[in-house]
Each structure stands twice: as C-alpha cells, then as structure tokens.
Amino acid sequence: MFRKNKLAMLVSEFLGTGALTMTVLALTHSQLSLPYFVATAAGLTLILMTIALGAISGAVFNPALTIGLWTVRKLKSLQAVSYIIAQFAGAAAAWYLFVYFTKLEDVKNSGAYDARILVAEVVGTFLFSFSIAAAVYQRLSIGLKGLMVGGGLMMGALVASLGSSGVLNPAVAMSLHQWGWGTYVLGPVLG
C-alpha cells in the first residue's frame, strides 16, 4: 500500500485539505469574513490545489466526497480510509498552524443539532458534488476541471451559508470548531 506513489497520494490529500482549511480559517477570522469572500477564497484555493495536485491523488480533499467515491467503487476501502485520515490530519495541522500564527484558540462551538444546518449542508454539498460529477463525466482537462470543482465549491458554500456556516467538508468543519455529527458531518455525507 505505501509505495512511493501511494505515499504521494496521501501527502497530496494532506496538503490540499490543509491549504483549503488554512484559507477558510484565515478568512473567517478576518475583516472579510462575509460568506461571499470565504466561499470565493475557498473556491479559488480548490481550483489551485486541483490543478496542482489533481494528477497525483484525484484532488478529493473532503472526507464526505471520499465516502461518496468509495460508495460508487471509485476508491478501494483501504485507500478511502487512508484518504480520510490524511484529510483530517491536514485539517488538524492547518488548525495548529493557524493557532501558532494568530494565537486565537478560544473558538468554541456547542455542536448542537439543528435541522436547518443539516439541510443547508446537504443542499450545498449536493450542488458541489454535482459540479464535480459534471466535470468528471465531461472528461474536462485538468484546468477546466479545476474551475468546475472550485466554482462548484463556491456555489455550494454560498447556498449553504444561507442556513449554516457553508463548510461542506467535515475535515474543515473540525478545524473551524463547527463540529456536529448530525450537522457538519452527516450533512456533507448525505449531500
């Protein structure tokens, strides 16, 4: 399992998820923390990471999408579990780096269930997943695929931000301390 190319895939997922998480953390704790700016920055980051790392790992960067790819048998079980571990590790590393840079670590969340948050995350992740499926189905070049994926994340996050934080990614939600099994984990998986 851990030959050179397999390790490169895991490092790719770690770095991509970490970069996405760091971007979202930086924007949500800045003066530009409006949903439009956060969604735009996340979308642009995903475009860049997809173009840079897509040929290595497929540029999944999201545990919910990893589960989706596993359910349709595009990823093997061991590969899916390894991706999820790498994605959460990348998000955790981004959180600790963020705390090191900013000294902001007192961000708390109750994690309480709210149906509105769940539905918003489901709808947003569905739109995001739909754009990914369209890019893959049409067999676009890596640049166009990156634009579709990043644009899809931006669209999904903006729509989801009407009722939630618009995270659409359980690993990023963990680092944002927006953790809730029934909302920010289950919502993206269902979407």
159 band by pLDDT with thresholds 50, 70 and 90: very high
The pLDDT of 121-137, averaged and rounded, is: 92
CA distance 177 to 16: 19
CB-CB contact of 152 with 191 (8 Å):
no
The pLDDT of 98-104, averaged and rounded, is: 88
Q: What is the pLDDT of residue 150?
A: 93
Residue 53 in this model has a pLDDT that exceeds 70 = yes
4 band by pLDDT with thresholds 50, 70 and 90: low
pTM: 0.88
CA distance 87 to 79: 12
The pLDDT of 97-111, averaged and rounded, is: 77
CA atoms within 13 A on the CB side of 44: 10
Tokens of 78: 């061991």
What 3-state DSSP class applies to 128? helix
2 band by pLDDT with thresholds 50, 70 and 90: low
Q: What is the pLDDT of residue 30?
A: 84
Q: What is the pLDDT of residue 180?
A: 80
